[in-house]
Amino acid sequence: MSLSQTPWRAIGYVRPRSWTRTLIIGIIFGVAFKFLMKAVVMPLLGAPPVNQAYHWVAGNTAVLPYMVYLMIVVAGFGEETLYRGWMFERLGKLFGTSVWAKSSIVVLTSVVFAAPHYLDQGRAGAEQALITGLVFGTIFARTGRIFLLMVAHAAFDLAALVMIYFDCEPAVAHFFFK
C-alpha cells in the first residue's frame, strides 16, 4: 500500500496455494457458518427469527444485483481488508505479536466490526457481527491470510441474502428450536 509503505502481504494478501481449494473451502465454511449462526447461535441469544433491517429484500428481485455487489465487493473484499487486514497490521505494530497482543487485536477489531452493524441491525446484528469477527479474526490471527476469509464472508452474506429473499429466515431460525 503506497501511502504507508505497507506491503500487501502484511495485510494478508498472500497468494493461496490453490485458488480452487480456497474458493471451495471459503464457500462451504461461509454458508455453513451462516446456517449455524441463524439456526443455533442467534436463537440461543434470543434474536428475532427475521432480520427486520433487511426484510424489505424479501422477494424484491430488482434489488438483487445491488445486494450481491454489496456482499461480494463491499463486505467480502472491503470489510475483510479493513477489519482483518489493515486493522490487524496497524494494531500489530502498536501491540506486538505475542499471543496476548493478537488476542487483544482479535477482540478489539471484532468490537469495532460489530459497532456499525448495531446501527442498522440493532443488538442481534451487532451480536452476530461480534461473533463473526471473533471467528474470522482468530482465523486471520493464526494464518495471516485474507482470501479465504473474503470468500467466506461473501458466502456468509450471500447465504443470508438467500434466506431473506426467499423469506425462509424463520424456518432456518426454528430448525432446532421451535
Per-residue pLDDT tens digits for 81-117: 999 999 999 999 999 999 999 999 999 999 999 999 9
Domain total in the chain: 1
Asked if residue 6 belongs to a domain, the reply is no
**Domain-located, residue 2:** no
Report the pLDDT averaged over residues 33-41. Answer: 98
**124 part of a folded domain:** yes
Q: Which residues contact 158 (CB under 8 A, 6 or more apart)?
A: 30, 31, 68, 71, 72
Residue 115 lies in a domain: yes
pLDDT at 6: 86
**pLDDT of amino acid 101:** 97
Contact in structure between 82 and 118 (CB atoms under 8 Å): no
Q: What is the pLDDT of residues 146-157, one digit of tens each?
A: 999 999 999 999
Nearby residues of 41 by Cβ (< 8 Å), 6 or more positions away: 128, 131
pLDDT at 1 over 60: no
How many Å apart are CA 57 and CA 96, to the nearest integer?
A: 43
For residues 53 and 47, give the distance between their C-alpha atoms in angstroms, rounded to a whole number.
13
The verdict on residue 48 lying in a domain is yes
Instruction: Give the domain extent around 55.
Output: 20-173
CB hemisphere CA count around 97 (13 angstroms): 6
Question: Is 15 domain-assigned?
Answer: no
User: Would you say residue 159 lies in a domain?
Assistant: yes
